[in-house]
Amino acid sequence: GESVGLHLPTLSVQEGDNSIINCAYSNSASDYFIWYKQESGKGPQFIIDIRSNMDKRQGQRVTVLLNKTVKHLSLQIAATQPGDSAVYFCAENDSWGKLQFGAGTQVVVTP
């Protein structure tokens, strides 16, 4: 079936460095993607989204890149801080408004 998945289950990053989290999707018809951050014991928090008519979108310290040719999505976090430690999910939003989440990447920020 269609799926959205991540390459790396755990990412250890030194404070101040940039983080890159990757995500692969299989449904070439997908046209809307969202990145979420989930802290332990909490619900997902919206970070940034991107539509398929774009290949890059920037927010505050975050950038999402979309490569439709290889069906790949990435989230870049600049100057990673301890507060960025969390699990990050990419999600694919279908035409019915339902989200399909990827497996998630645990980001651990070390001092």
Partner 1 sequence: GAVVSQHPSWVICKSGTSVKIECRSLDFQATTMFWYRQFPKQSLMLMATSNEGSKATYEQGVEKDKFLINHASLTLSTLTVTSAHPEDSSFYICSAVTWAGTRDNEQFFGPGTRLTVL
62 binding partner 1? (CB under 8 A): no
Q: Which amino acid is at 42?
A: K
Q: Tell me whether residue 25 or residue 89 sits nearer to partner 1 (CB atom).
A: 89
The window from 14-22, 40-48, 60-68, 71-79 that contacts partner 1 (CB under 8 A) reads: 40-48
Among 7, 24, 49, 57, binds partner 1 (CB under 8 A): 49
User: CA 87 to CA 36: how far, in whole Å?
Assistant: 8
Applying the rule CB under 8 A, the residues between 71 and 100 that interact with partner 1 are: 89, 93, 96-100
User: CA 67 to CA 98: how far, in whole Å?
Assistant: 22
103 binding partner 1? (CB under 8 A): yes
Among 20, 32, 74, 78, binds partner 1 (CB under 8 A): 32
Which tokens is 49 given?
């989204």
| Nearest by Cα to 83 from 59, 111, 105 | 111
In the three-class reduction of DSSP (H, G, I as helix; E, B as strand; rest coil), residue 70 is classed as coil
In the three-class reduction of DSSP (H, G, I as helix; E, B as strand; rest coil), residue 53 is classed as coil
3 binding partner 1? (CB under 8 A): no
Residue ranges in contact with partner 1 by CB under 8 A: 32, 36, 41-46, 49, 89, 93, 96-104
